[in-house]
């Protein structure tokens, strides 16, 4: 195959299982504060002390600095979002609302650094087969554009339903798709043999809820599914590298180039469109929401309004328009 060596039926089935389990765990953590604390506080403490020092040590496929930083930054995002969701004064604080954008930008920047770092790598590095090249630079630039086009955090608000979701209406579908394309290309570039699960399955597990289940809460879905996946792979690294269900990348340079080129084109398009809106509408991207007139924005706002969730606790443009 173009992207992967082969995908046997049992690996395809396991891919579906991984997606379903991640969505299910995300829903459990989303709906229950106690479950969230158990999964994002108690469980990581146990894993940090008793498991990861043995399973994610130097030389293993999850033993690099990046994996350790990634798991704790994902957990920090989950806990920070829970604080905003369950502490009303934080949800009303304009500085606290900078945290979601900040932790997202940090996670993107970590991956960008790693992509650039992989550019000069060839062969086995930290238990992962690397094929560095110009594609890493291309996708690193795409990641920086994705980071710079994060917008509208001042309009974040907390839903009034039982789950108290963190709703970010200005994070519209085309930015999410550009992120997905960039992040898949990053995983394919930097940990290609993990990308069938850590790239495709993981991204689908947060995109499905964002598009079809709880719209407007993509970042919350992304942080939680990422945390679950990182905790699992650091505890059981052989699942993606040596198990019967593992799927190896083709390590094809054409595939690497095409995936990164698609990522770069998508993120350039989003950046150009965003700059056009900022200039023609005289918006301040550090203060204003940029997409309040778009159907995608209105659909999110109206969906939560229909559930009695329409109070905005942020300080930007009201999340309910029209």
Nearest to 74 by CA among 45, 103, 99, 52: 103
**pLDDT at residue number 308:** 42
Asked whether residue 203 carries a pLDDT value surpassing 60, the answer given is yes
What is the per-residue pLDDT across 65-102, written as a single tens digit (0 to 9) for each?
778 888 999 999 999 999 999 999 988 888 898 999 99
Asked whether residue 319 carries a pLDDT value surpassing 60, the answer given is no
**pLDDT at residue number 37:** 96
Asked whether residue 309 carries a pLDDT value surpassing 70, the answer given is no
Q: Mean pLDDT, to the nearest integer, of 118-143? A: 90
**pLDDT at residue number 321:** 28
Task: Report d(CA 276, CA 42) in Å as an integer.
Answer: 46
Q: Mean pLDDT, to the nearest integer, of 21-29? A: 97
Nearest to 269 by CA among 142, 105, 152: 142
Lowest model confidence (mean pLDDT) among 209-223, 229-243, 268-282, 301-315: 301-315
**pLDDT at residue number 313:** 36
Task: Report d(CA 104, CA 166) in Å as an integer.
Answer: 14
Residues whose CB falls within 8 Å of the CB of residue 149, separated by 6 or more in sequence, listed in order: 175, 178, 267, 270, 271, 274
Nearest to 210 by CA among 258, 251, 156, 171: 171
**pLDDT at residue number 162:** 84
**Over pLDDT 70: what percentage of the chain?**
94
Asked whether residue 107 carries a pLDDT value surpassing 80, the answer given is yes
Q: Count other Cβ atoms within 10 Å, centred on residue 161.
A: 13
Please give the mean pLDDT across all residues of the chain. Answer: 89
Q: Where are the alpha helices (DSSP H) in the chain?
A: 9-31, 33-37, 43-50, 52-55, 65-86, 88-91, 98-118, 134-148, 173-190, 202-208, 218-235, 238-241, 253-281, 295-306
How many residues can be counted in the chain?
322
Burial 290-300, CB ≥16 within 10 A → b, else e: bbbebebbbeb
Lowest model confidence (mean pLDDT) among 159-163, 234-238, 277-281: 159-163
Band the pLDDT of 16: cuts 50, 70, 90.
very high
- Dihedral sign computed on CA atoms, order 33, 36, 41, 43: positive
Residues whose CB falls within 8 Å of the CB of residue 228, separated by 6 or more in sequence, listed in order: 22, 25, 26, 39
Band the pLDDT of 1: cuts 50, 70, 90.
low
């Amino acid at each position: 195959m173009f992207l992967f060596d082969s995908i046997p039926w049992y690996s395809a089935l396991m891919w579906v299982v991984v997606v379903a389990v991640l969505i299910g765990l995300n829903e459990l953590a989303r709906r229950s504060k106690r479950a969230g604390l158990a999964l994002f506080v108690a469980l990581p403490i146990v894993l940090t002390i008793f498991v990861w020092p043995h399973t994610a040590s130097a030389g293993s496929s999850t033993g690099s600095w990046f994996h350790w930083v990634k798991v704790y930054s994902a957990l920090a995002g989950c806990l920070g979002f829970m604080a905003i969701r369950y502490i009303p004064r934080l949800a009303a604080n304009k500085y606290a609302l900078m945290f979601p954008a900040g932790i997202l930008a940090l996670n993107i920047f970590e991956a960008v650094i790693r992509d650039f770092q992989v550019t000069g790598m060839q062969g086995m590095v930290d238990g992962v087969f690397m094929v560095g090249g110009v594609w890493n630079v291309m996708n690193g630039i795409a990641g920086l554009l994705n980071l710079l086009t994060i917008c509208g955090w001042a309009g974040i608000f907390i839903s009034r339903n039982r789950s108290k979701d963190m709703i970010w209406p200005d994070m519209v579908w085309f930015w999410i798709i550009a992120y997905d394309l960039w992040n898949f290309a990053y995983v394919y570039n930097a940990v290609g043999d993990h990308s069938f699960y850590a790239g495709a399955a993981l991204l689908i597990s947060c995109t499905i809820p964002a598009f079809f289940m709880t719209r407007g809460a993509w970042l919350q879905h992304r942080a939680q599914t990422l945390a679950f996946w990182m905790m699992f792979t650091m505890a059981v690294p052989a699942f993606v590298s040596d198990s019967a269900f593992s799927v190896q990348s083709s390590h094809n340079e054409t595939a690497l180039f095409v995936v990164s080129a698609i990522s770069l084109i998508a993120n350039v398009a989003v950046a150009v469109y965003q700059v056009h809106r900022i200039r023609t509408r005289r918006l301040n991207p550090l203060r204003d929401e940029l997409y309040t007139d778009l159907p995608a924005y209105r659909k999110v706002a109206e969906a939560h309004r229909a559930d009695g969730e329409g109070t905005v606790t942020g300080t930007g443009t009201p999340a309910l328009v029209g």
